[in-house]
Amino acid sequence: MTNAPIPHGPLRSFGRLKSRPVKPRQQALLDTLLPEISIPTAAFEPRDLAPETTETWLEIGFGGGEHMAAQAGRHPHALILGAEPFVNGVASAVRHVEEQALGNVRIHEGDARDVLGWLPDACLTRVFIMFPDPWHKARHNKRRLIQPAVVTELARVLKPAGRLRFATDWADYAEWTIERVLADPAFRFESETADRNAPPVDHVTTRYEEKKLGDCAPVFLDFVRA
């Protein structure tokens, strides 16, 4: 099946695209390694990117790439797709890939909603959305990544029993996400009794998380695809 990207129009769900100049070594990796591990910018079959892997995971907005790289190192059986529009974050991620010799990571420098549109149905086992831009002012809430159209796409690309993890340190965004994800009958909580402030056993702490920029302790929401 060929899928068109989500019609997200002019609204961006992310902020700045670049901050400080990229370091020369990282720029060299952007020029040489990134083209080799880039996700195709059209409909594709994940298994064609790394035939030796048995699962495909997606991280939406991987920041500096430390979480994505750690998960890839721990789970060599999984192809991990990552999408991030922030150039400095992508530069950091390719450095992690090169230093750790990770052959199971593929990267899209851009909007993750496009990647969702290129993916075939029921191809992902896991999706991570770790501390996305909260757009915490009410007038900016419409820019939040978690919207009904994105939830619908996540339901489409996740396999039955596939898992979605969302983490945030903004209380309102946690409630916003619960409301919109559970409004789709394709999703349920992995555990109704889980302590949502307790990091999951397989969690990897990110640099953003350590900055404690939100208004609450980190909240971890694990959903399952019915």
- Can you say which residues are annotated as belonging to the binding site for S-adenosyl-L-methionine? 59, 84, 111, 133
Q: Is the pTM of this model over 0.85?
A: yes
107 within domain boundaries:
yes
Question: Over 80: is that where the pLDDT of 105 sits?
Answer: yes
Q: Which domain holds residue 148?
A: 24-37+45-225
pLDDT band at 1 (very low <50, low <70, confident <90, very high): very low
191 has pLDDT over 90: yes
Provide the 3-class DSSP secondary structure of residue 185.
coil
Total number of domains in the chain: 1
Say if 14 falls within a structural domain. Answer: no
Q: Which residues contact 96 (CB under 8 A, 6 or more apart)?
A: 65, 66, 68, 69, 102
Residues 44-67 pLDDT 10s: 999 999 999 999 999 999 999 999
Evaluate whether residue 197 is within a structural domain.
yes
Question: Can you give the CATH number for the domain in which 49 is found?
Answer: 3.40.50.150
Cα separation, 22 vs 100, whole angstroms: 20
Residue 5 included in any domain:
no
CA distance 209 to 215: 12
How do the residues of the chain divide into helix, strand and coil, expressed in percent and rounded to 5?
35, 20, 45
Q: Does residue 88 contact residue 18 with C-beta atoms inside 8 Å?
A: yes
Q: Scanning the structure block, which residue is given the tokens 């230093």?
A: 99
Binding-site members for substrate are 137, 169, 206-209
Dist CA 26 CA 94 (whole Å)? 7
**Each residue of 80-89: pLDDT tens digit?**
999 999 999 9
Look at residue 82 in the predicted model and tell me its pLDDT: 98
Quickly list H helices, the chain: 24-37, 46-49, 66-74, 87-99, 112-118, 148-157, 171-182, 207-211
Is residue 133 annotated as part of the catalytic site, yes or no? yes
Catalytic residue among 31, 121, 133, 172: 133
Residue 29 domain-assigned (yes or no): yes
Query: Binding site: residue ranges?
Result: 59, 84, 111, 133, 137, 169, 206-209
User: What crossing angle do the helices spanning 66-74 and 87-99 adopt, rounded to 10°?
Assistant: 30
Does residue 18 lie within any of the structural domains? no
- Would 102 be classed as within a structural domain? yes
Q: Judge whether 2 lies within some domain.
A: no
- The residue to which tokens 């961006």 are assigned: 12
